Amino acid sequence: MPPEPPGSSGAEAHLRALESLYRHAAINALFDSSLEIVEQGRARIRFEIDERMFHAAGAAHGTLYFKMMDDAAFYACNSMVSDRFLLTTAFNLNFTRPLRSGPVIAEGRWVSGRRRVFVGEARLIDSGGEEAARGTGTFMRSHIPLAGLPGYSRS
């Protein structure tokens, strides 16, 4: 099913329902983070890094980079699909600088795809405005209806 036209009440409800889905995912209780879907095809996750997330050398572990960039690109792409949950099929990551304690933003952007496979990009921006990582992911339409997922509510 194609996305609803931008600006329609159905499209806006879909974006807010995806934000709710993010808040209700059990994994996200482990992170001080929030998702904002700016518009169809663009998502932003704001999160905080603290020492609990550090590897032995005193910077954020790569799993955090992956999780936040995957989520940002995923939600940017899933904002283009109003009926089905997408699944990550691949994600390529490039680390450019270490992240330490403080606020970080993961910016996600839909790049291409409208039927079965979607491509999204993401990057992490540190509190000084510097890019810390960049990645590209592919996401495939699943058989899982969004409407049946706990937390996805268009009301």
Q: What does the pLDDT look like over 96-106, one tens digit per residue?
A: 999 999 999 99
Report the alpha-carbon angle 34-39-42, nearest 5. Answer: 65
The more confident residue out of 59 and 2 is 59
Residue 2 has pLDDT above 60, yes or no: no
Cα separation, 137 vs 73, in Å, equals: 7
pLDDT computed for residue 6 by the predictor: 53
pLDDT computed for residue 31 by the predictor: 95
Locate the domains of the chain by residue range.
Answer: 9-148
Q: What average pLDDT does range 128-142 have in this prediction?
A: 98
pLDDT computed for residue 8 by the predictor: 60
Q: What average pLDDT does range 118-142 have in this prediction?
A: 98
pLDDT computed for residue 49 by the predictor: 97
pLDDT computed for residue 25 by the predictor: 97
What rounded mean pLDDT belongs to the chain? 94
pLDDT computed for residue 5 by the predictor: 55
Q: Residue 136: which residues within 8 A CB-CB, separation 6 or more? A: 73, 91, 92, 111, 119, 120, 121, 122
Q: Residue 23: which residues within 8 A CB-CB, separation 6 or more? A: 34, 35, 151
Q: What does the pLDDT look like over 21-43, one tens digit per residue?
A: 999 999 999 999 999 999 999 99
Question: Top-level CATH class of 9-148?
Answer: alpha beta
Radius of gyration of the chain from its Cα atoms, rounded to whole angstroms: 15
Cα separation, 64 vs 27, in Å, equals: 12
Enter the pTM of the model. Answer: 0.93
